[in-house]
């Protein structure tokens, strides 16, 4: 018997997130098979007259493919996947995490090939701008372990987060969207952090359950050459199978001129993948009231209430600052009091202090008002 929570989540994804219409083609891509949830998604798509297609992948198998793959293999795989993606109207992608570091020992030159061919050409250049898409995780023992929770408690947390009232959140985001679109100078202050940039003329986009589940952020993009100062991130980040910690970036005229972490050589190798990787593509404010600590999973961590993420790499087309890259790396800075505190200023006006919005028009975004 199917867990009713799976049916509810599938319904949210199909009817709210990507809004499948009759006759639309939908690709379900599942990393590490979760057949019951895949079947729930197929049923939800068929119930509205959509056409469901399924791609089952396994990260351990992909590891073997990529570790020894030649450039021709990556190019052909990207070519095949690109033809399929171009035929789709919508995309639902999810991973059931078994091991955060399953790809840790893939050589960096092979990961560069994966990012430049498959990730960039299929996902960044085709899926993101040309389909209705949503991505998420599926609860697993590995995710529960990363969160320091029992499997049962994590499942309850997961479904609370992923099936929250996104329509209520969406409405509460509107004043922040309006304020960001009227703002010019942004300043982020915190321990070993003083970062300044402009978002003048850039749109602000609310993420209210339509592209990520869980969701809960409002993003814009810095003007490419306006970024100055330093930011010291305090949330760990898993990227390409490696756990980065203590990431510190220094900017001048928009460019990352210094990068340090627990493996500074590795982070600089990533930032050297192309010219755009050393410029920012996104600035976002996290507001999900149910996510209060890092889980070593970007889809959750970038939504932490009281956080921001400042993203090296590619800029999204709906908020394009001119920066293109095969990298898009959401690095998270928590600013709640327990994490060391911090402030966000818009045009010399304090907007958020120690993770809490201080302007009256934004108080509905504080956690107690969104739960």
Looking at residue 371, its pLDDT comes to 87
Which one, of 172, 162, 228, lies nearest residue 195 by Cα? 228
- Across all residues in the chain, what is the average pLDDT? 96
CB 206 within 8 A of CB 181: no
Q: For residues 132-155, b (16+ Cβ closer than 10 Å) or e, as one string? A: bbbbbbbbbebbbbbbebeeeebb
Residues 13 and 61 both lie in one domain: yes
pLDDT tens sequence across 185-228: 999 999 999 999 999 999 999 999 888 999 999 999 999 999 99
Give the domain-ending residue among 162, 183, 211.
162
Whether 195 and 122 map to the same domain: the answer is: no
For residues 194 and 300, state if they share a domain: yes
Q: What is the pLDDT of residue 79?
A: 98
Residue 1 pLDDT level (bands cut at 50, 70, 90): low
Mean pLDDT of all residues in 28-44: 96
Domain count, the chain: 2
Helix axes 35-47, 4-11, angle to 10 degrees: 50
pTM attached to this predicted model: 0.84
pLDDT of 2 higher than 70: yes
Give me the percent of the chain exceeding a pLDDT of 70.
100
Residues 49 and 112 in one domain: yes
Same domain, 105 and 147: yes
Q: Count other Cβ atoms within 10 Å, centred on residue 156.
A: 14
User: HSE (CB half, 13 Å, CA atoms) of 333?
Assistant: 29
> Among 138, 162, 186, which residue terminates a domain?
162
Same structural domain for residues 149 and 280?
no
Say if residue 332 is exposed, middle or buried (CB neighbours under 10 Å; 0-12, 13-18, 19+).
Answer: buried
Judge contact between 47 and 11, C-beta under 8 A: no
Chain centroid to CA 340: how far? 23
Same domain, 22 and 119: yes
User: b/e for 177-188, b at 16 or more Cβ within 10 A?
Assistant: bebbeebeebbb
Q: How far apart are CA 123 and CA 115, in angstroms?
A: 10
- What's the token pair of residue 223? 């003007």
CATH number reported for the structural domain that contains residue 66 in this entry: 3.40.1830.10
Domain boundary among 162, 183, 206: 162
Domain of residue 68 covers 4-162
Shared-domain flag, residues 196 and 328:
yes
Q: Which of 302, 198, 312 is nearest to 250 (CA)?
A: 312
Residues 196 and 224 both lie in one domain: yes
Cβ atoms of 343 and 318 within 8 Å: the answer is no
pLDDT in tens, 115-163: 999 999 999 999 999 999 999 999 999 999 988 899 999 999 999 899 9
- Whether residue 25 is found in the same domain as residue 112: yes
Number of residues that make up the chain: 371
CB atoms within 10 A of CB 320: 16
144 and 229 co-located in one domain: no
Q: Is the dihedral of CA 21, 22, 27, 28 positive or negative?
A: positive
The answer on 175 and 302 residing in a single domain is yes
Write down the residue that tokens 């035929």 correspond to.
87
Task: Assess contact for 336 and 306: CB atoms under 8 A.
Answer: yes
């Amino acid at each position: 018997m199917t867990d009713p929570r799976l049916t509810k989540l599938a319904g949210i994804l199909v009817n709210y997130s990507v809004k499948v219409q009759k006759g639309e083609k939908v690709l379900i891509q599942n990393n590490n098979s979760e057949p019951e949830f895949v079947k729930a998604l197929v049923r939800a798509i068929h119930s509205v007259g959509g056409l469901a297609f399924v791609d089952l992948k396994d990260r351990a198998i992909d590891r073997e493919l990529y570790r020894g793959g030649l450039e021709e293999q990556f190019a052909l795989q990207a070519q095949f996947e690109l033809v399929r993606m171009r035929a789709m109207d919508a995309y639902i992608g999810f991973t059931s995490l078994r091991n955060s570091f399953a790809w840790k020992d893939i050589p960096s030159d092979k990961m560069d090939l994966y990012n430049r061919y498959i990730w960039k050409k299929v996902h960044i250049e085709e899926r993101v701008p040309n389909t209705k898409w949503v991505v998420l995780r599926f609860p697993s023992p590995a995710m529960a372990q990363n969160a320091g929770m029992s499997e049962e408690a994590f499942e309850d947390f997961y479904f609370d987060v992923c099936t929250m009232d996104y329509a209520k959140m969406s409405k509460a985001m509107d004043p922040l969207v309006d304020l960001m679109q009227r703002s010019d100078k942004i300043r982020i202050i915190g321990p070993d952090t003083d970062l300044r940039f402009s978002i003048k003329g850039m749109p602000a986009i609310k993420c209210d359950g339509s592209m990520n589940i869980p969701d809960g952020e409002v993003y814009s993009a810095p003007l490419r050459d306006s970024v100055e100062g330093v930011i010291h991130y305090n949330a760990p980040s898993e990227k390409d199978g490696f756990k980065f910690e203590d990431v510190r970036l220094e900017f001048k005229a928009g460019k990352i001129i210094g990068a340090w972490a627990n493996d500074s050589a590795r982070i600089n190798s990533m930032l050297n993948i192309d010219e755009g990787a050393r410029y920012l593509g996104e600035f976002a404010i996290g507001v999900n009231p149910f996510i209060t600590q890092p889980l070593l999973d970007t889809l959750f961590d970038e939504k932490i209430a009281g956080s921001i993420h400042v993203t090296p790499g590619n800029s999204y087309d709906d908020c394009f600052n001119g920066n293109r890259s095969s990298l898009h790396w959401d690095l998270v800075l928590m600013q709640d009091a327990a994490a060391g505190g911090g402030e966000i200023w818009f045009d010399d006006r304090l907007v958020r202090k120690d993770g809490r919005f201080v302007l009256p028009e934004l108080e509905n975004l504080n956690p107690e008002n969104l739960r």
